Amino acid sequence: MLGQFVTIALIAITALVASQQTTLPPRGTGVIAGRIVEGDSTRGVAGATVTLAGPTGVTPPQSRRVVATADGGFLFRDLVPGNHSITANANGFFEGSYGRPKPTQVAPAFNPPRSFQLEDGEVVTNLTIPIWRLGGISGMVVDEHGEPMVAVELRVFSRVADWAGVVMQQAEIVSTDDRGMYHVDVVPGDYIVGALVATTTIPVSTIDALQASSLDGTAMPELRANQAPDFGRTIGTRWNGFYFSWSNRNAGLSPGFGDDGRLTLYPTTFYPQAPNAAAATVLSIKSGEERSGVDLRLRQLVARRVSGRVVGPAGAVANIGVRLVAVDPANDRTNPPPMLETYAGMTDGSGNFTLLGIRPGQYTARVLRTGAKTLSAAEPVVVGDTNVDSLVIVLSGGGTFSGRVIFEGQTAPPAAAQRSIAITPRALAGSKAAMLSVTTPAFLDPAGGFASQEFPAGPYVINVSGLPAGWILKSAMLGTTDAADTAVGLAADGIRNLVVTLTDRISVLAGTVRDGEGRAAADALIAVFPVDRVLWRKPGMTSRRSQVAVPGRNGEYRFRGLPAGEYFVVATRGDAVDFTDPKILTSLIPDASRVVLTDGSSKSVDVRVVVRR
């Protein structure tokens, strides 16, 4: 009996040791060493954390971490061959990585990651990875009397202008301390700072009715479809028949409710005294720079009222959300747009609405009901020195996209794989439809057809995702127009007979990039873009025909899955190259190579690095 127990124990121990041995990371003979340095200098960053990951396909995945020496040095031993990514960070610095020559405040449209390609047994000792000191923004928030304001929530947005307009993204949120002071660390770049005060106004009668109906579960689905404010969280002060709520409540930015019916409040204010993001002063912060004195003085003002009625094809529309969004060029640059400084409200049972606490300015009134029957409007509203009353917002119906998916290949993918295919209409950035921002996908039915929910009228391109392995999008044809590349106009009667074609005949474009001396140019970027300018990437949109790649250390590059067509191929150096900018693409054309791809074709094109002037 004891012998049997010992035998079983030995078997278990042997199995455990074997399992542990099989999960040990593979050992190679490669070495990667180098230094972490500060920005564009040669000063080492002591104590930086350096992480190496990769290569892909190795089981278990390799990930190692070391701490840099006093002069910023790091060393990784026993590495297997393959592509390794290397990142570094330290307190007070923005993370850097191999192949990133400068920090990026807003990720560019084409920003392929770089990895280090290590050969079997190779020893590399001269890698340099720069990281950048964070900048800082600090200041004070005071009221109209110069008194410090405590616990005011400030928002810091990156605001960057490029060839296509303004791009804005939220970067940080910080609150003032008990002295009214604030400080925030930021990545080097361009920023605006503001105290946002958004308001919500809902009729008391509407709240009471909805609270009663929510008990049986009938209200919430309708409210979600109607984009209504969350009345369960927005109830604030009851005044003149409304529940009125405002953001930044913790700061004591309480409105003044006058007996004469006037409402005063601290409105949204951006540094230095701007009423909205578009008018704010942009702060350019360098690496390691501390920008002080970014002070805001908040002043109460007499707020305005916007009221009116929302009507649709069948008459008044009850319980639907109404929002005012400040006009800003940044809203035309991306889809979905940022849409800051929103004033929100909701219609009552008769379709009437009132928005309180409005600062004078130019706005877009945004109303949207989604679902099987979409109703929407995005109309300009100008608020001046007086209230805007009797505003009538007329909602229009939407249209649907429908069609079928066909497969060009020897064998169609399994039905289970087809169920993941998603057809998503995407409105062109800057259009009213983009402001309404509906992006619900449609999926295939058992017969291979699809039908979307209703979308607001406007220009759309068709995105197709969730493709089965080994298949790519060939086209999304509406008549003779490929809606995957060129916008098609959606009207109330909808778009029918859209034919989405997937193919397993996948093109390959490959070659070698060399510099002027004929050496492999591993530090270059290779771009491919259509000869037809109509197919170039549009602002705020994606493009399946424009791609950027990083070559291997031997200069070899590869693009897989480009649609059939004629293309330019060009290589250049410089992290700042924006391959979405038509001016830059035009300047590269004289030195670019041309290639024609067909379905399933394989082409080889060797290119020389273009020296941009």
Give the max Cα distance, the chain.
Answer: 97
Q: What pLDDT is attached to residue 218?
A: 60
Q: What pLDDT is attached to residue 245?
A: 87
Greater model confidence, 214 or 101: 101
Task: Report the CATH fold assignment for 199-246+303-397.
Answer: Immunoglobulin-like (2.60.40)
List the single range of 353-357, 484-488, 564-568, 570-574 with lowest mean pLDDT.
570-574
Across 97-111, 269-283, 329-343, which has the greatest mean pLDDT?
Answer: 269-283
Report whether CATH 2.60.40.1120 matches the domain 508-610: yes
- For residue 306, the cross-strand partners are 355, 388
Residue 70 DSSP SS3: coil
Share of the chain above pLDDT 90, in %: 65
Q: Domain segments of the chain: what residues?
A: 30-133, 134-198+247-302, 199-246+303-397, 401-503, 508-610
Q: What pLDDT is attached to residue 18?
A: 47
pLDDT in tens, 262-303: 889 999 999 999 999 999 999 999 999 999 999 999 999 999
DSSP category for residue 387 = -
- For residue 411, the cross-strand partners are none
Closest CA to 333 of 158, 193, 168: 168
Across 82-86, 96-100, 500-504, which has the greatest mean pLDDT?
Answer: 500-504
Q: Does 323 have pLDDT greater than 80?
A: yes
Which CATH code is given to the segment(s) 134-198+247-302? 2.60.40.1120
Closest CA to 296 of 69, 138, 437: 138
CA distance 462 to 450: 13
**Residue 63 dihedral angles phi and psi, to the nearest 5°:** -145, 125
CA distance 372 to 366: 19
CA distance 352 to 386: 19
Which CATH superfamily, name and number, covers 30-133?
Answer: Carboxypeptidase-like, regulatory domain (2.60.40.1120)
The average pLDDT across 335-339 equals: 78
- Length reported for the chain: 613
Q: What pLDDT is attached to residue 6?
A: 45
List the single range of 324-333, 467-476, 483-492 with lowest mean pLDDT.
324-333
Query: Would you place residue 239 in the very low, low, confident or very high pLDDT band (cuts 50, 70, 90)?
Result: confident
Q: Does 21 have pLDDT greater than 50?
A: no
List the single range of 10-19, 288-297, 496-505, 567-576 with lowest mean pLDDT.
10-19
Q: What pLDDT is attached to residue 19?
A: 47
SS3 sequence, 571-584? EECCCCCCCCCHHH
The average pLDDT across 473-479 equals: 97
CA distance 265 to 246: 10
The average pLDDT across 483-493 equals: 94
Task: Extract the tokens encoding 418.
Answer: 């087809």
SS3 sequence, 397-425? ECECEEEEEEEECCCCCCHHHHCCCEEEE
Q: What pLDDT is attached to residue 216?
A: 53
DSSP category for residue 322 = E
Q: What pLDDT is attached to residue 231?
A: 59
Q: Containing H/E element for 233?
A: helix 231-234
Closest CA to 310 of 369, 265, 243: 369
Task: Extract the tokens encoding 436.
Answer: 């309404």
Q: Containing H/E element for 328?
A: none
The average pLDDT across 81-92 equals: 93
Number of H helices, E strands in the chain: 7, 50
CA-CA-CA-CA dihedral for 478, 379, 222, 462, to nearest 10: 20
Which CATH code is given to the segment(s) 401-503? 2.60.40.1120
Q: What pLDDT is attached to residue 413?
A: 93
| Contact of 534 with 98, CB cutoff 8 Å | no
| Contact of 391 with 307, CB cutoff 8 Å | yes
